[in-house]
Amino acid sequence: MGINIDGKVSIDMKAVKKRVQANIQNIYEEDDSPEALEKLGVHVITGTAKFIDSKTLSVCDGDNEAFEVCANDGIFIASGAKPNPP
């Protein structure tokens, strides 16, 4: 885990970072990836979207092809996030 106890306690920050990154990757693969969401019945669409009305989105995908998505039960938008380095 990155903590060494051999008479004196020390921390191996490279090992800590490696473990944190492995945990982040595991969470992504198991819970947050498009594939994991599809297994839960979520239809994942990646692109740029804008609302046409309260239940309809116009989505432009990576190939610049636009199409409309209608959702009577609601729409979930995951806009993504990036860390803000200190």
Amino acid at 61: D
Say whether both 36 and 10 belong to one domain. Answer: yes
Say whether both 2 and 23 belong to one domain. Answer: yes
3-state secondary structure of 32: helix
The domain containing residue 26 runs over which residues?
1-41
Rg of the chain's alpha carbons, rounded to an integer?
20
Each of the 86 residues of the chain gets a pLDDT tens digit; together they read 778 888 888 888 999 999 999 999 999 888 888 899 899 888 888 888 888 888 888 888 878 888 888 877 777 777 777 777 76
Say whether both 36 and 50 belong to one domain. Answer: no
Q: How many domains does the chain have?
A: 2
pTM of the model: 0.55
Say whether both 35 and 6 belong to one domain. Answer: yes
Q: Is residue 86 part of a domain?
A: no
Q: Is residue 85 part of a domain?
A: no
CA 13 to chain CA centroid, Å, is 25
